Chains A and B, each alone.
Chain A
Amino acid sequence: MKKNQDCCGFEENKYISNKKFAVENPARMCQPMGALQAIMGLKNAMPLIHGSQGCATYMRFQLIRHFREPIEVSSSALNEKTVIYGGENNLLNALKNVSEKQNPDIVCVMSSCLTETIGDDIEGIISKFEDANIGMKLPKMVSVSTPSFSGSHIEGYDKAVLELVKDLCKLNIPNDKINLIMGNLSPGDVNEVKKLINDLNISSIILTDTSLNLDAPLDEDTLELHKYGTSLNEIEDTPNSKGTISLSKHADSAGKYLEKNFDVKCFSENLPVGIKNTDRFVKNVCELMNIEIPKKVERDRGRLCDILVDSHAYNYRKKVAIFGDPDMVIGIANIVSEMGMIPEVLCIGMESERFINDVGSIKELSNEIDYNPIILENSDLFDLENVLDNHDVDILFGNAYGASIADKNNIPLYRIGFPIFDRVGAQRISCLGYTGGIKFVDEVTNMIIDYYYDFEGYKLDEEEEIVFSDIATEEKHIEEKF
């Protein structure tokens, strides 16, 4: 472990792994997986992975067991011959079949590491297909370059939203809306943001809106192309909005693009988790739309403050480890700090300068004099496990793959992130906004009460009793001596 002097003015405790080459228990996924999650929030769209069958199948498998919904991802089904001669024919065929049989508004073609390596020119193939079908009513075709040998699912998400906006947006008359880029959020969190925006009485274009598609009713209509989510028209309309707020600092490329090319102001701030971050989000929205904050929103804020106070006795100085996507890790670190806990270990699967800078903001929230979290950047769960072998924490936040680490350390795992396949309700997990925060604080606090207190709510802590009794005996000894 090495200590660096950091730009944020505090000792940064960067963990240096004792493993250099292999990844063991990854804390990230590949680019096409992230792009897929963005496409799941589109209306009447079909994702198509240009690669071997396994890519589509295994990504579907992970998505299906997390969301517990049917998920459709088509594949160009490459095989050995196409690898030698190129995948053009398969992709042309796939575009034809998808267009004819499924009749979507949008087809999103994602490359895979295989087609990136053999050098298939997806854009060229799409043009060829469109040229061959002039006069026919074709879906809009968007290609996203998502080689899985670079970046992670986060870049994949970012690129997909950027390509959608870039390819489809049309400057027209102003629309009095704001664009909201969600990042890899649960449908539950997207819902929380939509509720908040609704409470602020403004209209928005959400990039992309998974809230209804991935938390669907028991209805066979859900087996067709997604009926809800962001429509083609809405994406076209994005340059006419008053501004863009990217909830994810790592997925703001589309916002930056609109700002640069269409003068649509873009805010890219921390995920609105907890009081401070949600305040900033609300203020940014209100500034863009030039409106006052409604009473209802203030009241919800007050309710979140109320539960922070109600629960602080249980949460005070509880130590926390968090792993997952950088935006979410920083978000959770913020809200648990507001709860009075100490985010001791922060682990992300990628490199991110923005993430490192944001750790500084947690320091400001915390009352700890010597707050010096252990930061695991570009790490895997092997690294996290190693750190937790030597550092006691009281609660772990992360996806289902953290279960064995939590079990080993005999601490509870609060499941958040992707994938969560060992519990139901992953699509409804939320912590965003004031009301999502309320739910989160309730659940986390109750988890702590469950683990660390008896059924009447008294603290279970034998060790401390022993310490006190030791001091008592010692004092007695001293008294006897003198």
Chain B
Amino acid sequence: MEKQDCVEPIIDTFEERQSHMCIKGGGLSLPECDKPGIPGTVTQRTCVFGGARIVLMPITDSIHLVHGPIGCASCTWDIRGSKSSDSKLYKKGCSTDLKEKDIVFGGERKLYDSIIELHKLHNPGAIFVYATCVSGVIGDDINSVCKEAQNITGCRVIPVQSEGFQDHNKTKGHWIGCDALIDNVIGTSEPDQDSITPFDINIIGEFNVAGDLWGIKPLLEYLGLNIVSTVTGDSKIEDIAKSHRAKLNIVQCQKSSNYLAKKMKKKYGIPSIKVNFFGIESTITSITEIAEFFDDEEMKNRANNLIENGLKHLDNKLEEYRERLNGKTVALYVGGNKAWSLVRAFEELGMEVIMSGTKNGIKEDYENIKNIVKEGTLIVDDANSNELRKLLKKLKPDLLISGAKEKYIALKLGVGFCDFNHDRISAFAGFKGFLEFAKEVDGAVSTSVWNVVSTSIYDE
């Protein structure tokens, strides 16, 4: 993080923000990161509560109860875009709806009553109780309320200590979400002896956004793996409770869930591999590494088959997209993991990543980005909406990959946009997903819409 890395200001912004952007090249290192946001700017960041909630929200058979005023629940309810193959309970927006009276006298009683009531109404697999800014400040002891309610109901009632103000970085929220699982869920049930196989795995950090998990699962099952649990996309609480007997954890979103994999390694000795099913090369590497881990001949043969078939299936169909996308440029500005895990996938489409950044990156994340991007790529940390606009104007990429908050900044500037976040409508994982991905990227970049909207009434 040397000052001379950023001799020339990249865009006009606050002086202390200049060191949060750098260009990879020569001996250049990393942008400054993991610092509190500047008050008064329009942040793209969220809070610790949000971080914890998005990790746990996809657990389908659970009630997610927000212990706070109504806004925390009504603004974050069912926003993850996670699909479920069974229970829809997780889609409910539940709140203890703290009122002035509760702020003065404490909200513990109301929380207790709410838990009992929701349990009676829905008989859920578990009730997750999220602490918010206010319940934290007034000092409600959600731990003991949860414990008491669990004793009465016999249902898992899990406290999540996710007061929003705890940190500037929502990654802390991810960890708090993971802690709730490791402390209260994982290892609390034993699998049936008959169901145990030598090839039991957990998929960690896959949230089944737009159904991504369903693109990954068949591949793994074809290899002969037995998926004990997914944490947390399309999951049920009992499966996660039994996940400690798996032989291997494969970690898809390393940003949110490596923490959990490490804890499971420490507590239960389960090794983990980092995988990535976005992109051809990454999918192949992931499949190969899993097969190599188990060192089973049958599985290795199947892996080869799978890869061969997958490639055969893809190549011809991708040609058309590649033709149109060749040489187009991409900017990534995402929550974390995707800032590096998507770079190769774009290169496989013939596109060039010219900027990559995250909202909540820590040093390790930027190491990952730096290792994968080409020289000359702009690496940026925590750009606020003003900076993002200026960067997009300066770089003029053909495409921005980001979430809903950034979408219309890009579109208004005439930059193609592809949602890779909560509002995504297609699954992108695995071989089949890669085709979908190529199709959507092509749709964003090559659409005729841009030809007409860039004209003026005064043009000939």
A393 to B405, CA, bound (A): 37
A218 within 8 A of B: yes
- In whole Å, how far is B95's beta carbon from the nearest beta carbon of chain A? 5
Report B-chain residues with C-beta under 8 Å of the C-beta of A33: 71, 75
- Say if the beta carbon of A80 comes within 8 Å of chain B: yes
Q: Known contacts being A97-B39, A117-B137, is A223 close to B47, with CB within 8 Å?
A: no
Which residues of A, 45-73, contact B by the 8 Å Cβ criterion? 48, 51-62, 64-65, 68-70, 72-73
B453 adjacent to chain A (CB < 8 Å): yes
What CA separation (Å) do A147 and B100 show in the bound complex? 9
CA distance A91 to B389 in the complex (A): 25
- Is A254 positioned at the interface, with any CB of B under 8 Å from its CB? no
Please indicate the chain B residues that have their CB under 8 angstroms from the CB of A54 in the complex: 46-50, 72, 164
CA separation between A293 and B133, bound complex, in Å? 54
Give a binary string over B372-415; 1 marks a CB under 8 Å from any A CB, 0 the rest. 00000000000001100100010000000000110111011110
Known contacts: A28-B74, A91-B39, A97-B38. The answer to whether A218 contacts B453 by CB under 8 A is yes
Decide yes or no whether A424 CB sits under 8 A from chain B. no
A29-B47 CB under 8 A given contacts A97-B14, A114-B165 = no
| Chain B residues numbered 101-133 whose CB sits less than 8 Å from any CB in chain A | 102-103, 110, 113-114, 116-118, 121, 133
Chain B residue at minimum C-beta to C-beta distance from A67: B408
Q: Given B43, B48, B113, B423, which contacts A77 in the complex, CB threshold below 8 Å?
A: B43
Question: Could you say which of A22, A29, A55, A223 contacts B114, with CB atoms under 8 Å apart?
Answer: A22
Instruction: Decide: B412 and A220 in contact? CB cutoff 8 A.
Output: yes
Q: Is the CB of A24 within 8 A of B99?
A: no
Q: Say yes or no: is A113 at the interface (Cβ < 8 Å to chain B).
A: yes
Tell me which of A148-156, A304-312, A366-374 binds B: A148-156
In the assembled complex, the Cα of A80 lies from the Cα of B168 at a distance in Å of 9
Assuming the A-B contacts A20-B113, A30-B69, A52-B164, are A75 and B43 also in contact, with contact meaning beta carbons closer than 8 angstroms in the complex?
A: yes
> CB distance A58 to B413 under 8 Å?
no
Residue in contact with B103 in the complex, picked from A57, A62, A117, CB distance below 8 Å: A117
User: In the assembled complex, which residues on chain B have CB atoms less than 8 Å from the CB atom of A222?
Assistant: 412
Residues of A close to B168: CB separation below 8 A:
53, 77, 79
The distance from the CB of A343 to the nearest CB of chain B, in whole angstroms, is: 25
In angstroms, Cα B118 to Cα A22, docked, is 7
Q: Are B412 and A61 in contact (CB under 8 A)?
A: no
Task: Identify which of B86-94, B206-214, B222-230, B317-325 touches chain A.
Answer: B86-94
- Chain A residues within 8 Å of B117, by CB: 19-22
Choice from A64, A70, A94, A421 contacting B39 with Cβ under 8 Å: A94
CB distance from A143 to the nearest CB of B (A): 15
B107's nearest neighbour on chain A, judged by CB, is A149
CB-contact partner of A23 in B97, B102, B137, under 8 A: B97
**A79–B134 CB distance below 8 A:** no
- Residue B26 at the chain A interface, CB threshold 8 Å: no
Does B23 reach chain A (CB closer than 8 Å)? no
Asked if B70 and A23 make an inter-chain contact with CB atoms under 8 angstroms apart, the answer reads yes
A274 to B459: give the CA distance in the assembly, Å: 44
B contact residues around A460 at 8 Å (CB): none
Which of chain A's residues have a CB closer than 8 A to the CB of B114?
21-22
**The residue from B166, B386, B453 contacting A79, defined by CB atoms under 8 A apart:** B166
Contact A97 B40 (CB under 8 A): yes
- Contact mask B62-86 → A, CB, 8 Å, 1/0? 0001001111111111010000000
Indicate if the CB atoms of A68 and B40 lie closer than 8 Å. Answer: no
Q: How far is the CA of A69 from the CA of B411 in the complex (A)?
A: 9
Shortest CB–CB separation between residue A209 and chain B, in angstroms?
20
Q: Of A61, A82, A97, A113, which is within 8 A of B68 by CB? A: A113
Whether, in the assembled complex, A118 has its beta carbon less than 8 Å from a beta carbon of chain B, the answer is yes
* A404 contacts chain B at the CB level, 8 A cutoff: yes
Interface pair A148/B407, CB less than 8 Å apart: no
Q: Please, what's the 1-or-0 string for A212-223, where 1 marks a CB less than 8 Å from any CB in chain B?
A: 000000111011
Distance, CA A227 to CA B2, complexed state (A): 40
The interface residues of chain B lying within 8 Å CB-to-CB of A79 are: 36, 165-168
* Residue A96 CB within 8 A of the other chain: yes
For residue B44, CB closer than 8 A to chain A, the reply is yes
**Interface residue? B37 (CB, 8 A):** yes
State whether the Cβ of B11 lies closer than 8 Å to any Cβ in chain A: no
Contact B69 A149 (CB under 8 A): yes
Question: What is the CA–CA distance of A64 and B44 in the complex, to the nearest angstrom?
Answer: 12
- Assess whether A65 is in contact with B46, with CB atoms less than 8 Å apart: no
Report B409-459 residues with CB < 8 Å from chain A CB: 409, 411-414, 423, 453
Instruction: Report whether B165 and A80 are in contact in the complex, using a CB–CB cutoff of 8 Å.
Output: yes
Contacts of A31 in B (CB 8 A): 71
Inter-chain CA distance A61–B389, complex, in Å, is: 17
- Would A72 and B39 count as touching, CB distance under 8 A? no
* Of B42, B44, B138, most A-chain CB atoms within 10 Å: B42
Query: CA A117 – CA B165 in complex, angstroms?
Result: 13
Which A residues are in CB contact (< 8 Å) with B100? 147, 149-150
Shortest B218–chain A CB gap in Å is 28
B98 beta carbon closer than 8 Å to chain A: yes
18 A-B residue pairings within 8 Å (CB atoms)? A22-B97, A22-B117, A25-B93, A30-B72, A31-B71, A57-B50, A58-B71, A64-B404, A77-B168, A80-B165, A82-B165, A101-B14, A148-B70, A149-B100, A218-B453, A220-B393, A223-B412, A223-B413
Q: What residues of chain A have their CB less than 8 Å away from a CB belonging to chain B? A: 19-26, 28-33, 48, 51-62, 64-65, 68-70, 72-80, 82-83, 90-91, 93-98, 101, 112-114, 117-118, 147-150, 152, 218-220, 222-223, 401, 404, 421
What are the 5 A-B residue pairs with the smallest beta carbon separation, nearest first?
A54-B47, A30-B71, A97-B40, A94-B40, A94-B39
